Amino acid sequence: MENFVAANAESLSRLRVFLDRARDGDLERSLPDGRTGKEILAHLAFYDQRALALMKYWSTAGVQASPIDPDIVNEALVPLLQQLPARAARDLVLQAAESIDALIADAPAALIRAILARATQFHLARAIHRNAHLEELESLLA
């Protein structure tokens, strides 16, 4: 359990450093694939918020499968993410990351074991997704 908690904390710190350096104008710029920085932040916020909702549900109802088609969800989210102001994306991503990391770090061992044993398409190591997108985001500041 310690490994993903530490990795999450490290990626949250990295996210904070990025947000401290990035200006709203930076987040409005497009990456080569056409997505903006604010869209990527809001995308991260959505998936961390989904993880938070699942963990809260599972803590009372028991861990169950929760399939998701990420390609369809990502495509469906695009028009919503594009409408968010950069400031809102910044606030959402930080709040979601802090909340899910704290919940994972404080989760009872039995819940963690159940998630590891039964949950599909769910990662306690939020850092994996976060760090992949931070690589892209940091290129906006280069």
| CATH numbers and ranges of domains, the chain | 2-139 (1.20.120.450)
- Helix ranges (H only) for 32-85 are 37-61, 70-83
Q: What is the mean pLDDT of residues 7-17?
A: 98
Which pLDDT score, from 0 to 100, does residue 142 have? 82
pLDDT reported for residue 121: 86
CB burial readout 106-118, b (16+ within 10 A) else e: ebeeebbebbeee
pLDDT digits (tens, 9 = 90+) for 61-104: 999 999 999 999 999 999 999 999 999 999 999 999 999 999 99
Contact 65, 118 (CB under 8 A): yes
